[in-house]
Amino acid sequence: MPNIKSAAKRVEVIRKKTLRNARLKSALRTSIRRFDEAMAGGNMEEAGKKLRRALIAIDKAVTKGILHKNTAARKKSRLALKFNRNVES
């Protein structure tokens, strides 16, 4: 436990930021999981909607500092590739 007032404040601020980051990261994972579930269900129209939502969530995660831009680009590319492979077949 910190003895200095400013250190105690930093601990509280970090705790709040950690909770916010966890909430945003969880929402990101959920949107990707929902896309995967729609793909598994075979409903391509629904999967397309879920893909758009997942891509938006990934972009927001980058702006919030949750993901690195290259990680986001890789994730978006893989999701789009997965969708496009199933659309063609």
pLDDT tens track of the chain, all 89 residues?
889 999 999 999 999 999 999 999 999 999 999 999 999 998 899 999 999 999 999 999 999 999 999 999 999 999 999 999 987 76
Q: What's the rounded Cα separation, in Å, for the pair 89 and 77?
A: 19
The predicted pLDDT at position 80 comes to 96
Q: What pLDDT, on a 0 to 100 scale, did the predictor assign at position 42?
A: 87
What architecture does CATH give domain 5-88? Up-down Bundle (1.20)
Residue 87 corresponds to which tokens in the numbers above? Answer: 């659309």
How many Cα atoms within 13 Å fall on the side-chain side of residue 17? 9
